[in-house]
Amino acid sequence: MDVKDFNYELPEELIAQDPLEDRSASRLMILDKETGEIRHKVFRDITEELRPGDCLVINNTKVIPARLFGVKEGTGASIEILLLKRRENNIWETLARPGKKAKPGTVLSFGDGLLKGTVVDVAEEGNRLIQFSYEGIFEEILDRLGQMPLPPYITHPLKDKNRYQTVYAKYDGSAAAPTAGLHFTEALLEQIRAKGVEIASVTLHVGLGTFRPVKVEKIEEHHMHSEFYRIEQEEAEKINRARETGHRVIAVGTTSCRTLESAADENGHLEAGSGWTDIFIYPGYRFKCVDALITNFHLPQSTLVMLVSALAGREHILAAYEEAVRERYRFFSFGDAMLIQ
């Protein structure tokens, strides 16, 4: 399957640069995955599409302010670090710009020495392993010095850090937000519960591989990044109960979807646990657990467009995206939403 099969034309002005003041005021496209039929609503009206007994699965990861600006000790040369993955002994896998200034042995200083890092190794794809030293609590220092790692297509500064977090964000660890969840408010979640819909939480810490372009022509040759996930026993039971009673499992976002499909056995049954997943879902994949998906509109030729195409069919997805462009939907992280059911 060719990567160009997942291309579409997107006018640049449709890339949402700022979040809406009201999270739930985004537009919502509803796509019937069997027929390709399209309907248009506002996101807060998603309650009308949910049924008692459905299980809505959210990703409760929390984005860390993973973007650090510092200097190279000795020369004072500026350097930017993006924290990607926590290892042991205060070592993080990072993306360093410019990388040539971050050779093993280089000492970096952030916040006038409040945080220091030593480059200890070069990992795959040129990522740097940096061991940090500091006094106090790392997360507090990061909150003080770091910036939210917004995707490269967002050029406006973020006025409120919390608008790049879901209202249910709980566990630190992501380098990018699970953006389908940004549309939910506490009030909307209460309405959903009141309707008899079960809400289950999983955790998948989103890496920047989400934004990496597919560089091979044949998508089968693409190697996915790995991300850490966890499913607690109580949450697995909620999801299994929905399936066993004939109700739908609706993933909020591609991250929740990938977590469920990684952890499910061939019959769609989930076991509690944690691990790393590099699952790559593209057309031809048979879904084991997920029946429906709430998601945003994704970049052309991206693994995420391939995932939604696996669920709804490539032709249906490309037709829906063409209609979204015609109807002036807002695209990508701060954009509008789609329910595939």
pLDDT in tens, 297-313: 999 999 999 999 999 99
- Cite the beta strand spans of 73-149 per DSSP E: 78-86, 91-97, 107-110, 115-122, 128-134
Q: Is the whole-model pTM more than 0.85? A: yes
Stated as kind and residue range, the H or E segment containing 69 is: strand 67-72
Report the pLDDT value the prediction gives residue 45, as an integer from 0 to 100.
Answer: 97
What the block records as the tokens of 81 is 């670090």
Question: CA–CA separation, 126 vs 246, rounded Å?
Answer: 47
pLDDT in tens, the chain (341 residues): 999 999 999 999 999 999 999 999 999 999 999 999 999 999 999 999 999 999 999 999 999 999 999 999 989 999 999 998 889 999 999 999 998 889 999 999 999 999 999 999 998 788 999 999 999 999 999 999 999 888 888 999 888 889 999 999 999 999 899 999 999 999 999 999 999 999 999 999 998 776 678 889 999 999 888 899 999 999 999 999 999 999 999 999 999 999 999 999 999 999 999 999 999 999 999 999 999 999 999 999 999 999 999 999 999 999 999 999 999 999 999 999 999 99
Question: CA–CA separation, 256 vs 201, rounded Å?
Answer: 9
CA distances to 43, 284, 303 from 36, rounded to whole Å, are: 19, 18, 21
Question: Euclidean distance between the first and final Cα of the chain, in Å?
Answer: 24
Report the pLDDT value the prediction gives residue 226, as an integer from 0 to 100.
Answer: 87
- DSSP for 296-311, written as a single string: E---TT-HHHHHHHHH
Considering only CA atoms, which of 274, 226, 228 is closest in space to residue 123?
226
Report the pLDDT value the prediction gives residue 211, as an integer from 0 to 100.
Answer: 64
98 preceded by a cis bond (ω within 30 of 0): yes
Question: CA–CA separation, 29 vs 25, rounded Å?
Answer: 13
CA distances to 9, 199, 243 from 194, rounded to whole Å, are: 40, 11, 20
